[in-house]
């Protein structure tokens, strides 16, 4: 009798489980190292879907459409990703259980440029005081980046923060006197001191500070793993905690920090991985 009751409950529960295959992910045909890419998730319930890929993850909010629920995500691969394919897994935990689906996509590999420079030692070697300051700033940035905002404030159409052309592209590996440095984590855009800088998307200012390397810097969290970074500003026009709208002027181009001339170093991170911002300015979804 008890067994039959249990069976009956099971049958009732099963009938409430969304049909197999209700969880879907739409991936691009190919993805590239150092680039971001859009993914759309489809499900039968209003629960967020967790996307996992390359040891990264992001929870995706879904909203109701004509045919169930849909959510938009921006994922990315690091510059040095070398595998031939990428697996993306979607996990949806609803009231009755867990739905999981994995899809793979081929990876195209881009080779990033190397740049060898001879520089005077005094510009490369830092004092202990400067290094300590840098490490403290880095630790603070890490703390903020480890607690990203969950709700998506971006809409998939991103603004180029200044119109100036590129003076140094993303991903360039610089060698100073033969020693490798960290690859360029963003793009340098030309601009005269005082040129207004626009927010790449709507979001919340998480860091507005003056850092040793970056000078006057702002980190804007756009939610669901997307963060934009603006460095070397002459003027910072926002404060930590401020909500900003896409296109809002957040600062002015300058030459603060460790730079030789005015420009905007602009970076984008997706789930804490730096990507080339340039393809995103014209990205459509």
Minimum CB distance to Zn ion, residue 65 (Å): 40
If you ran DSSP here, which 8-state letter would residue 81 be given?
A: -
Query: Is the alpha carbon torsion for 208, 175, 280, 142 positive or negative?
Result: negative
Distance CA 71, CA 91 (A): 13
Minimum CB distance to Zn ion, residue 185 (Å): 7
**Contact status: 276 vs Zn ion (CB under 5 A):** no
**Contact status: 269 vs Zn ion (CB under 5 A):** no
Q: Which CA distances in Å does 174 have to 81, 114, 168?
A: 19, 6, 11
Minimum CB distance to Zn ion, residue 102 (Å): 36
Minimum CB distance to Zn ion, residue 162 (Å): 13
Which residues 6+ apart lie within 8 Å of 207 measured at CB? 140, 141, 144, 217, 218, 219, 240
Helix (H, G, I), strand (E, B) or coil at 13: helix
User: How many positions of this chain bind Zn ion (CB under 5 A)?
Assistant: 2
Q: Which of the stretches 28-36, 98-106, 259-267, 271-279 binds Zn ion when contact is defined by CB under 5 A?
A: 259-267
- Residue in 201, 236, 204, 207 with CA at minimum distance from that of residue 221: 204
**Contact status: 188 vs Zn ion (CB under 5 A):** yes
In the complex with Zn ion, the residue whose CB is nearer, 79 or 265, is 265
In the complex with Zn ion, the residue whose CB is nearer, 40 or 168, is 168
In the complex with Zn ion, the residue whose CB is nearer, 94 or 167, is 167
In the complex with Zn ion, the residue whose CB is nearer, 3 or 182, is 182
In the complex with Zn ion, the residue whose CB is nearer, 47 or 112, is 112
Minimum CB distance to Zn ion, residue 164 (Å): 13
Choose which of 42, 216, 252, 265 interacts with Zn ion (CB under 5 A). Answer: 265
Residue entry with tokens 């840098």: 134
Contact between residue 50 and residue 57 where contact means Cβ atoms under 8 Å apart: yes
- Residue in 275, 279, 271, 272 with CA at minimum distance from that of residue 33: 275
Burial class (CB in 10 A: 0-12, 13-18, 19+), 35: buried
Tell me, residue by residue from 56 to 95, as one string, x for binding to Zn ion by CB under 5 A and - for no binding. ----------------------------------------
Helix (H, G, I), strand (E, B) or coil at 153: coil
Q: Which of the stretches 9-17, 22-30, 182-190, 195-203 binds Zn ion when contact is defined by CB under 5 A?
A: 182-190
In the complex with Zn ion, the residue whose CB is nearer, 44 or 188, is 188
Judged by the rule CB under 5 A, the positions of this chain that interact with Zn ion are 188, 265
């Amino acid at each position: 009798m008890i067994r039959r009751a249990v069976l009956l409950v099971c049958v009732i529960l099963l009938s409430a489980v969304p049909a197999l295959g209700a969880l879907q992910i739409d991936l691009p045909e190919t993805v590239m190292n150092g680039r971001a890419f859009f993914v759309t998730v489809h499900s039968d319930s209003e629960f967020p879907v967790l996307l996992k890929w390359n040891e990264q993850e992001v929870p995706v909010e879904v909203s109701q459409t004509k045919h169930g629920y849909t959510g938009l995500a921006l994922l990315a691969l690091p510059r040095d990703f070398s595998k031939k394919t990428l697996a993306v897994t979607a996990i949806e935990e609803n009231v009755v259980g867990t739905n999981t689906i994995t899809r793979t996509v081929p990876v195209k590999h881009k080779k990033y440029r190397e740049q060898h420079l001879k520089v005077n030692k005094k510009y490369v070697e830092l004092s202990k005081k400067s290094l300590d300051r840098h490490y403290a700033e880095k630790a603070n940035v890490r703390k903020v980046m480890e607690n990203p905002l969950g709700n998506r404030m971006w809409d998939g159409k991103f603004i180029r923060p200044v119109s100036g052309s590129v003076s140094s592209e993303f991903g360039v590996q610089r060698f100073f006197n033969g020693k490798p440095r960290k690859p360029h984590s963003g793009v340098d855009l030309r601009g005269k001191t005082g040129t207004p800088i626009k927010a790449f998307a709507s979001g919340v200012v998480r860091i507005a500070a003056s850092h040793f390397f970056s000078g006057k810097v702002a980190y804007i969290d756009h939610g669901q793993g997307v963060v934009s970074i603006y460095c070397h500003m002459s003027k910072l026009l926002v404060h930590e905690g401020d909500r900003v709208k896409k296109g809002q002027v957040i600062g002015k181009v300058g030459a603060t920090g460790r730079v030789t001339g005015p420009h905007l170093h602009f970076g984008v991170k997706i789930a804490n991985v730096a990507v080339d911002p340039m393809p995103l300015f014209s990205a459509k979804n």
